[in-house]
Amino acid sequence: MPENITAPEKKKRIFSAIQPSGTITIGNYFGALRNWVKLQDDYECIFAVADLHAITVRQDPKAFKKNILEAYALFLACGIDTEKSIFFIQSHVHTHAELAWILNCYTQFGELSRMTQFKDKSAKHADNVNAGLFTYPSLMAADILLYQADLVPIGADQKQHLELARNIAERFNGIYGKTFTVPDGYIPEVGARIKSLQDPSKKMSKSDENANAWVAVLDKPETIMKKFKRAVTDSDAKVCVGEGKDGINNLIAIMSSATGKTADQITAEFEGKGYGDFKTAVGEAVVEEFRPIREKFDQLIQDKAYLEEQYRKSAEIALKISQRTFDKVMKKIGYLPR
């Protein structure tokens, strides 16, 4: 290579996996998923539908199968592009479960027992506190370390799990020599933290018992409009950001996320208008933002052959990459080659 030409800088690798819950709220989308889609241009991205993680909670087989396929189709509809990224279904790449067992043996019982998510989920599912729920972070570590990921997009609730993955990698590297890349957390561009439409002091969550509290990306336009019209506000009747105006602050954040307008622009636009007009406008903006995603999803979910082609293609690539790491691990430990 001539001296005056430098090699292109190698893109850093990002890994992220998302559980197939069956529903993505507009909070999930604006807060995280939309930003992950943007990462594809600047990073080498590996994404997965984390269906192995999902069975720590008992699943209905028929609904589970449907949810996995729908999650895959929905993420594609949202903009994950298999020409730019690897996007596979976790259970289709057997190295995840295999490395998870190995890493269980390099993870301390005390480390797992300190995980706050284990405590929270044990309390929530007291009738099914299984070993998988306890060792879940070792599987998460395997997901990340298999791909020698440089970065992992994380929210506040995942920091502890990433720290454990780093500890496991450093422990293994310390015993056997450099084997795993020690990943760093990647805090994506902060999306709006969307709150419940019925209790704006809480995060929007699909587990909320009040169905009017949250809006799903795939909700029908009439359902979205109905939920926004029922959104909790205050008695001030002035559209502006302010203290004690949690409901309106939340609606402004949603409007801003859907349209790209600033809070000041939104305030000026609705000067002298009532909350009824504003709630209708927010609902309409959200309907329009998600219309192309709903249309794309409806098209994809009808084309099972295309979806299968995409997830199989990505799984083959993911297996090749992850197998290299797994074989190195097995050799370092001293296993006989197959």
121 catalytically annotated: yes
Please state, in angstroms and rounded to a whole number, the distance separating the CA atoms of residues 180 and 69: 31
Catalytic residue among 66, 84, 203, 226: 203
Distance separating alpha carbons of residues 231 and 248, to the nearest angstrom: 9
Q: Which residues fall within 8 angstroms of residue 5, CB to CB, at 6 or more apart?
A: none
Active-site residue, 10 included: no
> What's the rounded Cα separation, in Å, for the pair 305 and 282?
37
Catalytic residue, candidates 66, 84, 206, 332: 206
Query: Would strands 184-186 and 151-153 be described as parallel, antiparallel, or unpaired?
Result: parallel
Task: Provide DSSP, 180-226.
Answer: S---EEE-PSPPP-PBPSS-TTSB--TT-S-GGG--BTT--HHHHHH
Q: Residues 146-178, buried b or exposed e (16+ Cβ, 10 A)?
A: bbbbbbbbbeeebebbbebbbbbbebbeeebee
Helix (H) / strand (E) containing 18: strand 13-18
- Among the listed residues 121, 195, 227, 279, the single catalytic one is 121
Q: Would you call 206 a catalytic residue per the annotation?
A: yes
Positions annotated as catalytic residues are 121, 203, 206
